[in-house]
A and B are shown apart, each in its own frame.
Chain A
C-alpha cells in the first residue's frame, strides 16, 4: 500500500511553455501533498504544501504565480510550471500523507523536467 505515482516521469519542453505534473495517491486518500524540487547534488527543497480543497502554502522564495498547485481531490494534486525557463530544469518530486496514517510521507517517483 501507500503508493504515489507521478506523471510524466520526464518531460522536455521549449522555453516559454507550461508543463503540468500530476501526483496521485493510488491506494489512500492524501489529505496533504508536498511538492519538492531537487537540483543535482543538492537536497530536496520544499516548494509548497497543499491540502485538499484549499490553497497551497508556498515556501519563501517560491513564486506562486509561476508554480501553480491544484489539489482538487484527495488523490490528485497537480503542479504547473508556467512559462518554463532553463533554470526551472530540475527533478520535481511530490509526496503525500493521509489521514489515519503516521506522519510518514510517501514519495512519488519524481518528474525530470528539462527546459531547452
Chain B
C-alpha cells in the first residue's frame, strides 16, 4: 500500500465550476500536511498547508480528517490557470522528510 494515495484523474472541470478531490495517508503519526501544485515538467510549488481546523486561501479550501486519515482540496470558480497536477504531501518524520502522492491532474476547460 502506498503511503500517500491520490486519484490520478484527470478531473475535467469547466471554467468557473468547483472541483474537489481527496488524498489518503497511511501514517497516523503524521503531523504536517500540504497541497503542492506541479505544472508539467516543473518543480512542485507549495499551494497551502493543511490545518486541523481546515483552512481557506482565496478560492482554495483544504480540510483534514485525522480520524479517517484523509485530506481534501476544493477549488472554487476554477480558472484555466488552475490546470495542473495537485500533489498531496505528508510529513514522514520530525526531520522534515516528506512523502508525496502521485498527484491528481486537474484540467480546466473553457
How far apart sit A49 and B43, CA to CA, in the bound complex (Å)? Answer: 18
* Chain A residue at minimum C-beta to C-beta distance from B46: A104
Does A62 belong to the interface (CB within 8 Å)?
Answer: no
Which label, helix, strand, loop or mixed, suits the secondary structure of the B interface? loop
Known A-B contacts A41-B8, A43-B4, A43-B103; A103 and B41 likewise in contact (beta carbons under 8 Å): no
The answer to whether B43 and A93 touch across the interface, beta carbons within 8 angstroms, is: yes
Write out the residue numbers on chain A whose beta carbons fall within 8 Å of the beta carbon of B45.
107
Number of residues from B at the complex interface, CB < 8 A: 20
How far apart sit A42 and B45, CA to CA, in the bound complex (Å)? Answer: 16
Per-residue contact bits, chain A 39-58, to B (CB 8 Å; 1 contact, 0 not): 00111111001000000000
Write out the residue numbers on chain A whose beta carbons fall within 8 Å of the beta carbon of B46.
104
- Sample 15 A-B pairs with CB under 8 A, ordered by A number: A32-B95, A32-B96, A34-B96, A34-B98, A43-B87, A43-B101, A44-B87, A44-B100, A46-B98, A46-B99, A91-B41, A93-B44, A97-B96, A103-B32, A109-B42
Write out the residue numbers on chain B whose beta carbons fall within 8 Å of the beta carbon of A42.
102
